[in-house]
Chains A and B, each alone.
Chain A
Amino acid sequence: MSMNDTALAEKASETIAGFTEEAFSALTQPGNPLLRGKREEAFAEYLRLPAPHAFDEEWRKTDPALFRFDTWSALPSAAAGSVQPTDWDSAFDVVVQVDGASVSIEDRTGILSAGRAYVASLFDAAEEHPDWVQQYLQGAALPASTDKFTALNGAFWNVGIFIHIPEGTKLEKGIFLRYRQRETGAVLIPRLVIVAESGSEATVVEHLESDDEVSMGVVSARELYVDQAARLKFLTLQEWGRGTYQIGNDMAVVQRDAQVDWITLNLGSQISKLKFGSDVAGPGSSAELDGIFCTDTDQHIDQTTLQIHSAPHTYSRLLYKGAVMDQGHSVYRGIIQAKPGAIKVDAYQTNNNLVLSNGAIADTIPGLLIDADDLKCSHGATIGNLDENQVFYLRARGIPEHEARKLLILGFYDEILDRIPYASIRDRVHELLVEKLDRVL
């Protein structure tokens, strides 16, 4: 695994278009000293780390040159009054609207004023709770040294949200973050930090939207901290428009006896290169990771999941299901990693793919990296089309062929949709899938 040092040094001098020394100094003047310090730390890493190339293993299936940072230069700005409340809002305690770079927070059930949760922009959090920000922003889950784009996010983030659930608190409804972007030519760089203190329980949902005509880049980073015996449910519904190109890197660290349930629904964007996962870092901790994806036209979705076991007696389970249609291309790369000493580990990973059109490509690269003994790890991956016997069975009951296929594909996704805790979101995902399938079948 040794990297040639000279090659490393050569690559390191490269910056991503628009994210230069000048841009950085303009951004950090004057600013909160805590945040500035964090940004400077990240910027140093950003300069040091090599820029990804198509010949890097991680980027082999998604050429980084496809992300045209040279064409996106603006920082996102708010279009006044553009974000309207939706009927989903009533299902949540707190609704956070991110429009351009402006953040508005609505405390619908009064949990914020009652101190049962803290939700704020990172700018406010740095003033109000510097100790938390010091500990968790760019913390153990996602240090700036992770990779070039994580460091870029750490140095240049333009939307920052900090969520803190105090010890032993259980939120009835949950927190909803809605990102609505309508400005062309911008790069949205969101940073999200969620801290669930010991024994707390909460659900956080993100909904990402942009119009198809909006050409934009997104470099996101999320860090989740789930402390002892806490339970955090996190869900992202990604329905960016077709002009959106996203690079994301997310990580959850789960402590003793705690659990994270994480669902990612990747249906939108033109190109996505996403990496997310969990480190079950305390004995008895567990992670349940689920996701769906569906590509049509010439969408390209490249996803890497990490199931890291750095403590003994830990559990993780992952199920990722997707279909590719038209000229769509999906990449799934799964890594289960058991670190030395992580004994009595159970880790499972399943990736199922449907290739529904000739010309569509499904890549799957499930991996097991095991450095310990006394564990059980497994992965399974399948690629195939619908079972024609099932299609026939449904047709024999009078269901027209395209309807039968649609039913079967929705059925394929059902076990994951079933785990979505909000009916409104489940319905929306269903609707999005049906739209896609009706277009193709």
Chain B
Amino acid sequence: MEDKLGTDSALIQEEYQYGFVTQVDEDRIPKGLNEETIRLISAKKGEPEWMTEWRLKAFRWWQKKSEPRWALLNYPEIDYQDICYYSAPKKMTDRFKNEDGEIDPEVRKTFERLGIPIDEQHRMEGVAVDAVFDSVSVATTHREMLKDMGIIFCSISEAIRDYPDLVRKYLGTVVPQTDNYFASLNSAVFTDGSFVFVPKGVRCPVELSTYFRINSQDTGQFERTLIIAEEGAYVSYLEGCTAPMRDTNQLHAAVVELIALDDAQIKYATIQNWYAGDAEGKGGIYNFVTKRGHCRGKRSKISWTQVEAGAAITWKYPSCILQGDHSVGEFYSVAVTNDRMQADTGTKMIHIGNHTRSTIVSKGISAGHSANTYRGLVQVLPDAVGCRNYSACDSMLVGATCTANTVPYIQAENSTAIIEHEATTSKISEDQLFYLRSRGIDEESAISLVVNGFCKEVFKQLPMEFAVEATKLLELKLEGSIG
């Protein structure tokens, strides 16, 4: 056993195939966080004064607060002064000065190795990609075609520069700078992220996708994404994340804001595969993320789908504020934890408008010594008439040393609300495994079949290629977890 799990690097590489480091010249600022750091980041990005002030407001609030500790998560104190808040491939910084600037060939190779082509020549059919490497956005494909339709898809830095009015109108309106500790930190120091604007009546014909990559050591990644769908618009957005394997923990604190006006629809899918640390819990990403969608308009719809398979610590509750009458919120989640991973994730559905509906489907799979918690809130406000929620939260235990928790909060203040919540926790079914094995299927494949069946409801929400990737990811994650 010892030998098998020893330090054979090839084996570990296989376990986490995205764990390599790219050698690039970095433009880094010194570690530590104070007002000067924020001014420096803002200056490096050539931001207008209002943006700098916006960041500083967030920072001043953050300084007065302390980290929330109510989640069922155990991790040592984070030293926020021991983190580098800005790192970019050197060649990239030039790119902001010159539209035709070259992408660092090493960075390009990194994304190729990850299966993410970032050149217009090699772009994927039907998917427009924005690739973020450490602190900055590297490339955005399909730009021209989208531009013709009036769709803006670019990095948030570019948006602040090129579409300041849109950014000022919407940034922080769903997740204010003072929302919570991590969101506020993000507001102060965010370095890049994606910006999407789909104008009235336009249906975005391709999947928009952002790929986040942490490369640099001791760097925090703080991306910020803002998606706006105007009246009747539709957009589907995908996000993927990886990071190299390192012995030390790295902080990732992102904020995503979605805004859907009347009859608009936004689908947001995430496949999160940050490095999770080794089997003993050494290293891995701390993933503290605030994602929130605002169904501002009537009959608007926001769907979150997430496959959370990585990160040492996950603290993440993609939520919907259902303000417009007849608006719809959905949350589909698979969270798989193994080894020493800890995840505390779920959603919030806040019913403000009349006849608003929400659906929550959460599947947690715990293996190894991991801890996996679903935490959710469904709230129907007193004046919200005719609201409905249905939640199903199932947990599957694989092995004897893991933990699975379910902590839903449900509050109704209107007599016309109908809320149903169901949750189960059970061991992976011996009967099912036995049945499959009696038909000649080996144990690992049987587990994978059963687990995939368990997650089907969520996977079918994903676009095909992502669903395939998610299935493979799950198999990889659970390899060797029974025995």
Contacts and interface: CB of A to CB of B under 8 A. Distances in A.
Contacts of A384: 417-420
B403 A362 contact: no
Interface in A134-175: none
A370 B404 contact: yes
Size bin of chain B's contact surface: 35 or more
B74 A368 contact: no
Contacts of A358: 382, 413-416
Interface in A332-374: 343, 353, 355-374
B300 interface: no
Interface stretch (A27-35, A253-261, A290-298, A375-383): A375-383
Nearest to B372: A370
Contacts of A13: none
A378 B397 CA distance: 13
Given A373-B397, A380-B421, A368 B415 contact: no
A304 B212 CA distance: 43
A25 interface: no
Contacts of B395: 368, 370
Secondary structure class of chain B's binding surface, majority of residues:
strand
Size bin of chain A's contact surface: 35 or more
A1 to B, nearest CB: 7
A377 B419 CA distance: 21
A32 B424 CA distance: 50
Contact of A376 (B415, B422, B426): B426
Contact of B410 (A2, A376, A381, A385): A381
Nearest to A371: B403
A2 B405 CA distance: 17
A57 interface: yes
Given A355-B417, A368-B395, A383-B419, A375 B411 contact: no
Given A371-B403, A373-B402, A383 B412 contact: yes
Secondary structure class of chain A's binding surface, majority of residues:
strand
A359 B416 CA distance: 11
A383 B417 contact: yes
Interface in B350-409: 382, 395, 397-400, 402-409
Nearest to A336: B425
A342 to B, nearest CB: 11
Given A358-B382, A385-B415, A2 B399 contact: no
Contact of A373 (B74, B406, B420, B427): B427
A343 B382 CA distance: 43
B413 A361 contact: yes
A367 B411 contact: no
Given A376-B424, A377-B425, A378-B423, 15 more contacts: A1-B74, A355-B415, A356-B415, A358-B382, A361-B412, A361-B413, A364-B411, A365-B410, A368-B425, A372-B397, A372-B400, A373-B400, A374-B400, A375-B427, A379-B406
Going nearest first, the 9 A-B pairs with the smallest beta carbon separation are A383-B419, A368-B406, A378-B424, A373-B397, A384-B418, A383-B412, A381-B421, A377-B425, A374-B427
26 contacts: A1-B72, A57-B70, A356-B415, A358-B413, A358-B416, A362-B412, A363-B410, A365-B409, A366-B408, A366-B421, A367-B406, A368-B404, A370-B397, A370-B403, A370-B405, A375-B397, A375-B425, A375-B427, A377-B425, A378-B422, A378-B425, A380-B420, A381-B419, A381-B421, A384-B417, A384-B419
